[in-house]
Amino acid sequence: MSYRYKKLTRRRFIKFTVFGATIPFLGGVIDEVEASKASKAVMKYQGSPNGNEKCSNCIQFIPGKKSQANGKCKVVEGSISPQGWCTAYASES
């Protein structure tokens, strides 16, 4: 078995140090974003549309992997149905 060892240069040391320090910071930012979302109850989320207004045509909606799969919302926490609606609804027009 042959291993190739690369010389640990100052530049590589700095890259590893910066990268290692960044990972915990990014984890904290992601957790903070999730924690800042409103609950479904506060936003009066419902699993059915409000007339023509539904999550799938809201600018806050982040679609799931398939068009009918649940997605996420930029404002409301948890799994969001594309057919749902809440008071945070906002259309593009």
CATH of the domain at 90: 4.10.490.10
Find the domain containing 30 and state its range. Answer: 8-37
The values of phi and psi at residue 69, to 5°, are -75, 150
**55 shares its domain with 73:** yes
**45 shares its domain with 87:** yes
Quick one: pLDDT at residue 83? 97
Q: What total number of domains does the chain contain?
A: 2
**81 shares its domain with 64:** yes
Whether the model clears a pTM of 0.85, i.e. scores above it, the answer is no
User: Per residue in 3-50, pLDDT tens?
Assistant: 555 666 777 767 666 665 555 555 555 555 556 889 999 999 999 999
Q: How open is the CA angle 62-68-71, to the nearest 5 degrees?
A: 25
Does the residue 1 lie in any domain? no
Q: Give the separation between CA 40 and CA 61, rounded to whole angstroms.
A: 14
